Amino acid sequence: MNIYSVRMRATDGQGRHLSGMERLIFEEDVSMTLQALYQRAWHYEPHNVYITVEKIDQEITVVPVLRIRSEIHTSSSRSGVRNQAREILLDAHIEMDVIDYAFSLLDQGPAAGGGNMRGAVLLTKRSGRRLEPDKDRGVRTLRVDIHPEDRERLHVALVQQGFPHPRTQDALILATKTLWAGVIAELGWSDDPDYTTGFVATKGTYWRFEGIKEAGVNVGGRIYFVEEDEDTAELIKRLQQIPIWVTV
Ligand code: COA
Ligand code: AMP
């Protein structure tokens, strides 16, 4: 059966990105998916909505979803929450200085002149060098979705575990591909001022951290920690081009 990538992105009157979504689906589901993505875009009161439908000619690689865990609530302060995230990154052999730098990038906005990027930072784990070719664009994880037959099962499993927010599911799926592609660990939080939950993904687990950023802050982003001698071009190719179906 033919498989398609259906993508939506919505922008405001100034051309700023509001929302994006990608589905990898069977041909028979294309028209239903177009409707669902259009509806999702409409929620953001967009000026323009761009829809792309593209046939996938490659074999789709199947990858099991990361385990999901919430941080242990030993502390309710932001610094306490961040210390737990730091511990997990240290355990993944990321240098302390590099972890501090990553937090400061996300606090300031990691784009070249401050502010939000359009993708992720690639940061080497020991010397903290930025490898992404364009520091405003960054690198995006694309061509990934939950397997159509597992969509409902993943949703039910996440709700049962106490993670009903659609953002959690989207970030979990993206992080599953990001680690599969060879990224050692990922740290991220949203630029949405009302959404203060962030995450660290590494070693097969996606850790959620509520209150990792202050409410009202409109900067955020994603840091992909990579090996010192990472082949950047190959990594970017895997992140952007190889189609992945995540399974439960
Ligand atoms: N953030 C900010 N700007 C974005 C963006 C994002 N996530 N995605 C696209 N854009 C803007 C950029 O200006 C981009 O230009 P650039 O490549 O110079 O940065 C422009 O839109 C065109 O990007 P392109 O990659 O051609 O868009 P696309 O039509 O192929 O759609 C998206 C890509 C929007 C689907 C993808 O970026 C995205 O957001 N994916 C999210 C997937 C997701 O949440 N999956 C969950 C799995 S269930
Ligand atoms: P969000 O979690 O959707 O609010 O996005 C927060 C930040 O993560 C954005 O400002 C981008 O810098 C980055 N980002 C968003 N989507 C992707 C993606 N698909 N791949 C890599 N980085 C992304």
- Tens digit of each residue's pLDDT (9 = 90 or more) over 167-197: 999 999 999 999 999 999 999 999 999 999 9
pLDDT of residue 76: 73
Q: DSSP 3-state assignment of 42? A: helix
Neighbouring C-beta atoms of residue 146, cutoff 10 Å: 23
Q: What is the pLDDT of residues 123-139, one digit of tens each?
A: 999 999 999 999 999 99
Q: What is the pLDDT of residues 38-78, one digit of tens each?
A: 999 999 999 999 999 999 999 999 999 999 998 766 667 89
Asked if 181 contacts 235 with a C-beta cutoff of 8 angstroms, the reply is yes
pLDDT of residue 201: 98
CB-defined site of ligand 1, < 6 Å:
7, 9, 17, 20-22, 50, 52, 118, 137, 140, 142, 144-146, 170, 173-174
Distance in angstroms (rounded) separating the CA atoms of residues 76 and 172: 23
CB-defined site of ligand 2, < 6 Å:
116-120, 138, 140-141, 174, 188, 190-192, 220-222
| 84 CA from centroid of ligand 1 (Å) | 31
pLDDT of residue 72: 65
Distance in angstroms (rounded) separating the CA atoms of residues 9 and 52: 9
> Which of the ligands is closest to the CA of residue 148?
1
For residue 162, give Cα distances in angstroms to 37, 69, 179, 212. Answer: 25, 10, 24, 18
Q: What is the pLDDT of residues 189-241, one digit of tens each?
A: 999 999 999 999 999 999 999 999 999 999 999 999 999 999 999 999 999 99
Q: What is the pLDDT of residues 147-156, one digit of tens each?
A: 999 999 999 9
pLDDT band at 1 (very low <50, low <70, confident <90, very high): confident
Q: What is the pLDDT of residues 87-115, one digit of tens each?
A: 999 999 999 999 999 999 999 999 999 99
| 118 CA from centroid of ligand 2 (Å) | 6
